[in-house]
């Protein structure tokens, strides 16, 4: 079956027989793309019920604070590390933002918080901050790669990314739906594909696909009732490719059909939950959130030692850049050794 841009199997050390991509039998989307003249601003949710939400006593005195609805997703701590810190197993404001830059980052974290747990005593006008999303990550090393923000509590605050590419843009993951963000993504050219690394971090994916008129990509082992109508289903063990710049790497372990996206020209690996990082740049323990097989997950990480990437852009936690291939492998080997047991590659 032909596609506008074919996803083809790529041989690595040897051909991976049996890997192919099929079109799902979903109805697709026939409604025309909506055009907006202006962004509908979402009002800041700063006045939560005092019965359900209370200011955590661990917060520093001042305007900004985190309430007791925090789910410890870590988003605010890596988005605005000078303001937020983990105190007693959840986030809190440990230093009130003083400079314009610190206040901007705190407001970006407020917008991105999946549970609307960040507040200000004096609610600001955040319309200009909303218009900044998606946020460019690193214009020098990650040109064209953006952070979507708008994390969702349905995915425990998973991170979604947006890649601008001359042959078609790619939405990696699924953020919380926002009219403002949708308008801004359309301003960057919309999306041709929505790549879903696995099935448990896909909040509002159908709504995004309908709005952006993009095809969703997901491995068949991750297709469940909520994702039964995805347009492009990966089968086999890959790897597959999008255009010539992106490889889809089969990395089972966290879930049975987890797939990572490798942006080759930028040496950036979007790992979903296969590799996640804490605020202090440490890789999180595999057992912490594994839903399928730690043994398979370790086997997948071992195979990443052969992949020439320098950036880890995870589904949870802050991104990480290595200075070179050797440093990347030393870090991964140390991480694998820290598991404290011997695993057999799958």
Please report, in angstroms and rounded to a whole number, the separation of the first and last CA atoms in the chain: 30
> Do 310 and 324 meet the contact criterion of CB atoms below 8 Å apart?
yes
**Per-residue pLDDT at 284:** 59
Taking residue 188's Cβ as centre, other Cβ atoms within 10 Å add up to 14
Sign of torsion over alpha carbons 185, 190, 195, 201 = positive
Name the range with the highest mean pLDDT among 51-55, 121-125, 328-332: 328-332
**Per-residue pLDDT at 283:** 63
**Per-residue pLDDT at 200:** 84
| Same fold across 64-124 and 135-337 | no
CATH class of 64-124: alpha beta
Look at the domain 135-337 and name its fold: Metallo-beta-lactamase; Chain A (3.60.15)
Smallest CA-to-CA distance from 245 within 209, 208, 193 is with 193
**Per-residue pLDDT at 6:** 38
Residue 39 or 151, more confident: 151
Smallest CA-to-CA distance from 344 within 280, 292, 295 is with 295
> Do 164 and 144 meet the contact criterion of CB atoms below 8 Å apart?
yes
φ, ψ for residue 26 (rounded to 5)? -65, 165
Mean per-residue pLDDT over the chain, rounded: 82
The CA R_g of the chain, rounded to the nearest whole Å, is 20
Q: Work out the average pLDDT over 115-135.
A: 93
Cα distances (Å, whole numbers) of residue 53 to 56, 77, 89, 237, 326: 9, 20, 17, 46, 47
Reduced to 3 states (helix: H, G, I; strand: E, B; else coil), residue 103 is helix
Residue with tokens 């998973």: 158
In what order do the strands lie in the sheet containing 170-172? 20-23, 232-235, 215-219, 193-195, 170-172, 161-163, 142-147, 135-138
pLDDT tens digits for 268-318?
A: 999 988 876 665 556 655 556 666 677 888 888 899 999 999 999 999 888
Q: Work out the average pLDDT over 187-207.
A: 94
Long-range residue pairs from 159-168, CB within 8 A, at least 24 positions apart, any chain? 159/75, 159/313, 159/314, 159/315, 159/316, 159/317, 161/137, 161/270, 161/313, 162/134, 162/188, 162/191, 163/263, 164/188, 164/189, 165/243, 165/245, 167/5, 167/192, 167/243, 168/5, 168/192, 168/193, 168/243
Proportion of the chain above pLDDT 90, given as a percent? 64
Q: Work out the average pLDDT over 34-39.
A: 32
Lowest-confidence segment of 33-37, 157-161, 206-210, 303-307 by average pLDDT: 33-37
Domain boundaries, the chain: 64-124, 135-337
Report residue 217's pLDDT band, with 50, 70 and 90 as the boundaries: very high
Taking residue 138's Cβ as centre, other Cβ atoms within 10 Å add up to 13
Proportion of the chain above pLDDT 70, given as a percent? 78
């Amino acid at each position: 079956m032909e596609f506008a841009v074919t996803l083809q199997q790529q041989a690595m050390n040897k051909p991976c027989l049996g890997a192919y991509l099929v079109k799902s039998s979903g109805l697709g989307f026939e409604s025309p793309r909506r055009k907006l003249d202006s962004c509908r601003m979402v009002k800041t949710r700063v006045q939560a019920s005092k019965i359900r939400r209370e200011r955590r006593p661990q917060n520093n005195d001042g305007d900004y604070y985190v309430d007791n609805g925090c789910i410890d997703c870590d988003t605010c701590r890596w988005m605005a590390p000078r303001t937020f810190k983990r105190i007693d197993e959840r986030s809190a404001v440990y230093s009130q933002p003083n400079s314009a830059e610190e206040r901007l980052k705190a407001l970006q974290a407020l917008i991105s918080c999946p549970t609307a747990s960040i507040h200000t005593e004096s609610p600001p006008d955040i319309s200009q901050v909303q218009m900044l999303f998606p946020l460019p990550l690193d214009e020098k090393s990650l040109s064209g790669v953006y952070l979507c923000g708008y994390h969702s509590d349905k995915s425990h605050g998973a991170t979604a990314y947006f890649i601008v590419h001359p042959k078609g843009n790619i939405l990696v993951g699924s953020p919380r739906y926002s009219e403002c963000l949708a308008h801004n993504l359309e301003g960057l050219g919309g999306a041709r594909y929505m790549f879903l690394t696995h099935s448990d971090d896909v909040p509002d994916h159908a709504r995004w696909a309908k709005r952006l008129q993009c095809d969703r990509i997901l491995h068949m082992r991750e297709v469940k009732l909520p994702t039964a109508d995805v347009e492009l289903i990966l089968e086999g063990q890959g790897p597959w490719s999008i255009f010539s710049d992106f490889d889809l790497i089969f990395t089972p372990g966290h879930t049975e059909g987890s797939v990572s996206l490798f942006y080759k020209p930028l040496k950036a690996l979007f790992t979903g939950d296969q590799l996640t990082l804490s605020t202090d740049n440490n890789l999180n323990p595999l057992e912490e959130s594994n839903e399928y097989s730690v043994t398979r997950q370790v086997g997948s990480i071992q195979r990443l030692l052969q992949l020439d990437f320098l950036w880890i852009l995870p589904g949870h936690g802050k991104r990480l850049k290595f200075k070179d291939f050797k440093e990347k492998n030393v870090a991964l080997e140390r991480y694998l050794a820290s598991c404290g047991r011997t695993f057999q590659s799958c």
